[in-house]
Amino acid sequence: MTDESAGEPAPSRRLFRIAGEDRESFLQGLVTNDVAKLRDGLVYAALLGPQGRYLADFLLVPAGDAILMDVDQNLAEALPRRLSMYRLRARVTIEPADIAVTRGLGPAPEGAFADPRHPSLGWRRYGAPCTAAQRIDWDAIRVAATIPQSAVELVPDETLILEAGFERLHGVDFRKGCYVGQEVTARMKHKTELRKGLVTLAIDGEAPVGSAITADGKPAGTLFTRSGGRAIAQLRLDRAGGDLRAGAARLQFTG
């Protein structure tokens, strides 16, 4: 294997194997994206609660007679239980899969898939890890492109996926039909203007993750992942032009 296919393990991920003849229809009625897109590669999607709040996000992976679900380890314990609640009479099995996940930038090795969320996230491969190592500052990439991370910017039972940028990240399909939480999500898309959302801000000074942001002294949002002089924040868009502060830091919305 050459350096061109160098990659980096993703130890914080867990995989589940979803098999059985009803696997596609089972997932299609639950997740925010169209499972039929698996014919083209990875599919980014989320599972929502009935009120449209985020519960988990994951990458769906085509795997022959099964579908793999690539999920953050912080969500891995609860997710199969949630999925099983909806299984009813569907001919589906959900089992852990001991498969390595490698991710990287540059030319993709054989068998790898492009990350569907954003070109800057490169590729992912499932199976034998790459032998040539690559060290990547993924937080810097996420902050630059305002890409949320599971259990950090994406908070179970709180986040609304359109406020988290799921449409921009190709994580929701508005033509696929019904899924859990679809009605709330569709209403936000077609009938309301988003009042807040994830943005990348310039930051000068120190403030821990989770710090409250104020604009001209009024509550305006929450600070999340930082990399260098930029940070991801959940921000009230009508207060983005104010004097933004978090802890000892000053922030600036650059649009």
- Structural domain of 22: 3-145
What is the per-residue pLDDT across 187-214, written as a single tens digit (0 to 9) for each? 999 987 899 999 999 999 999 999 999 9
What is the per-residue pLDDT across 208-251, written as a single tens digit (0 to 9) for each? 999 999 999 999 999 999 999 999 999 999 999 999 999 999 99
CATH number at residue 19: 3.30.1360.120
Distance separating alpha carbons of residues 199 and 253, to the nearest angstrom: 8
Alpha helices of the chain — where are they, by DSSP H? 23-28, 78-85, 138-145, 182-191
Token digits of residue 101: 């996940």
164 within some domain: no
End-to-end CA distance of the chain: 42
% residues pLDDT > 90 (the chain): 88
Q: Residues 209, 122: one domain? A: no
Q: Residues 43, 113: one domain? A: yes
Q: Residues 18, 110: one domain? A: yes
Tell me the longest C-alpha to C-alpha distance in the chain.
57
pTM, rounded to two decimals: 0.94
Per-residue pLDDT at 59 exceeds 90:
yes
Instruction: Name the residue among 231, 61, 47, 234 with its Cα closest to residue 156.
Output: 47
Q: Residues 121, 236: one domain? A: no
The average confidence (pLDDT) of the chain is 94
172 within some domain: no
Distance separating alpha carbons of residues 72 and 74, to the nearest angstrom: 5
Residue that finishes a domain, picked among 129, 145, 161: 145
173 within some domain: no
Q: Residues 200, 134: one domain? A: no
Token digits of residue 54: 């985020």
pLDDT on residue 6: 74
